[in-house]
Amino acid sequence: MYTAACPSCGAPVSFRSAASVMAVCEYCQSTLLRNADEIKDIGKMSSALEDYSRIQIGTSGQYQGQGFNVVGRIQLRYDAGFWNEWYLFFDDGSAAWLADASGQYMLTKSLGAAVDAPAFANIQPDMAYLYDKRSYVFSDVRTAQYVSGAGELPFTVGKGYVAKVVDARHAARFITLDYSQGAPELFVGEAVNLADLKCQLLRSDDQITESAGRLAGKNNVLDCPSCASPLKYIAGMAMQLVCPACHMEVDCAGDKAIAIGKARQLEAFHSTLQLGDTATIENKKWLLIGLMRCSEEGEVDGDWTEYLLYHASLGFMWLVESQQGWDQIEVLNQWPEMHNAAQAMLNGKKYRKLFDYNAHFTYAAGAFNWRVHVGDKTALTDYDLNGVRLSKERSPSEVTWSRAKRISSELVGQWFAKPIASFASGDASPSSIKSLAIMFTALLVVINLPLLIFNGFGGIWLLFFALVLVWLPAR
């Protein structure tokens, strides 16, 4: 470890990794470059927006039998949000990166130049990439801007730094191709969670709540730049708000609220759950911070509502309400494997493909950890195994997988301490019952047509009683 005095304030600055060429003084935020045994001050570093991440510089853990310490951090922002890259220094002198995005973690180590990587401009999400005899799938393509840095880093970053990165997945395996320096660099690793890393010195719930969003010393209420309505949000979590009053999309990831754009005039939408509702799930308090209305293209009854819940240390959870019932959604960090187009395999279990469909957002309100825009479209593919559903969602910039677990309306009501309409828990909805009644009516008429022709009045009465039995549930 090399230690020197900060040229700006005199505080001690340590370089624990021999690969570190840059460090940020934690006292005065000066950016210090190391050249042999000399330290040069090149100016002040931008402050990070303290977000919901549980990791901090000084967090320690273990990976593959080796201990590590978090010694540095880069915060990056792209068009729909931002994420953290934590620089890890291992006991054996090696280094790695721990990506932290919306509660998902990916640990990778550099393997040098990616000699067979395609050109950055030619990569699209969902394309295949062969590495080490395995077929990976590109999950997202990002051009991100530097926001801030802290601690030790192996290269120089600062204002104007642009990261061009592409991620690819195969089950739990994870690859990043970094085009930031021109020629692509290959990083290989896997999806991880903090429990398996045996992390110590993580930020507590109170620390997250106390420090999150304090970049500009603001509280967690902003005035909408369009209509001046108060916008409540979770400091450090929300990157974008959608004003419930005027539907202005507001960027609040910086030191002030910035109007992005206004959605088209939306019809009034009354959801079962409301912004600000709280749920107690396994003795943990969750807050409902955002809701979206989605519509399947070409389907009259193909609407559903997605609710975003937040907990300080557990991150995010989705609930989906549709005419088929309620589902608890888990965004998968380990992806299913696709051996053919008709099935997906996850944890050794085969899920049968159901159908492909397209959907778009028709309404949004509240706070989100990425940019939501009414009118955006997405393509989905659903797979099923004994009622458990996997969904693959594709947009122009990324691919995600999720798993849906069916839950009852009674359980949702217990969580939120309010009554929930029973037809949304798996019973058929009124509109779906009516659709079934129309279908059976047509079927009965076709089947009994010979009876009507040859039996006359008696056949009509038999058909009448059959139709009564069909339409009673619809009534």
Residue pLDDT, tens place only, 161-188: 889 999 999 999 999 999 998 899 999 9
Contact 133, 170 (CB under 8 A): no
DSSP H or E segment with residue 327: strand 325-331
Query: How far, in Å, CA of 163 to CA of 41, rounded?
Result: 23
- At 384-440, the pLDDT tens digits run 999 899 999 998 889 999 999 999 999 999 999 998 875 443 444 444 455 566 766
Question: Tell me, what DSSP letter sits at residue 471?
Answer: H
pLDDT score at 192: 95
Tokens 């009622």 sit on residue? 387
Percent of the residues in the chain that have a pLDDT greater than 90, as a whole number: 41
pLDDT score at 428: 45
Region 296-323: mean pLDDT is 87
Percent of the residues in the chain that have a pLDDT greater than 70, as a whole number: 65
Q: Nearest-CA neighbor of 394 among 408, 407, 377? A: 377
pLDDT score at 368: 80
Q: Which of 124-128, 274-278, 441-445 has the highest mean pLDDT?
A: 124-128
Question: Tell me, what DSSP letter sits at residue 423?
Answer: G
- Mean pLDDT, all residues of the chain: 79
Residue 374: φ, ψ to 5°: -60, 130
Q: Amino acid identity, residue 342?
A: A
Q: Nearest-CA neighbor of 321 among 331, 312, 308? A: 308
For every residue of 100-137, DSSP letters joined together read EETTEEEEEEEEEE-TTPPPGGG--TT-EEEETTEEEE
3-state secondary structure of 432: helix
- Whether the pLDDT of residue 343 is over 50: the answer is yes
Tokens 């029973």 sit on residue? 422
3-state secondary structure of 53: coil
Cβ atoms < 10 Å from Cβ of 120: 17
Query: How far, in Å, CA of 321 to CA of 274, rounded?
Result: 13
Model confidence, pTM: 0.73
Which positions ≥6 away from 372 have C-beta within 8 Å? 240, 242, 249, 290, 292, 361, 364
Q: Is 370 exposed, middle or buried (0-12, 13-18, 19+ CB in 10 A)?
A: middle
3-state secondary structure of 177: strand
Tokens 């959801």 sit on residue? 271
